[in-house]
Amino acid sequence: MHFTKATGQTLHAIRRARERYSWALGLIDIVSIKDMICGTEGFDRKHTILVKRQSNRVSVWKVFYKNEWYGVVFDSKRQTLVTVLPKGAVDQMEPGHSF
For residues 23 and 88, give the distance between their C-alpha atoms in angstroms, rounded to a whole number: 16
User: Where is 7: in which H helix or E strand?
Assistant: helix 5-21
- Whether residue 38 contacts residue 31, with contact meaning beta carbons closer than 8 Å, is answered with no
Task: Please identify every stretch of the chain with a pLDDT value under 50, giving residue numbers as ranges.
Answer: 96-99
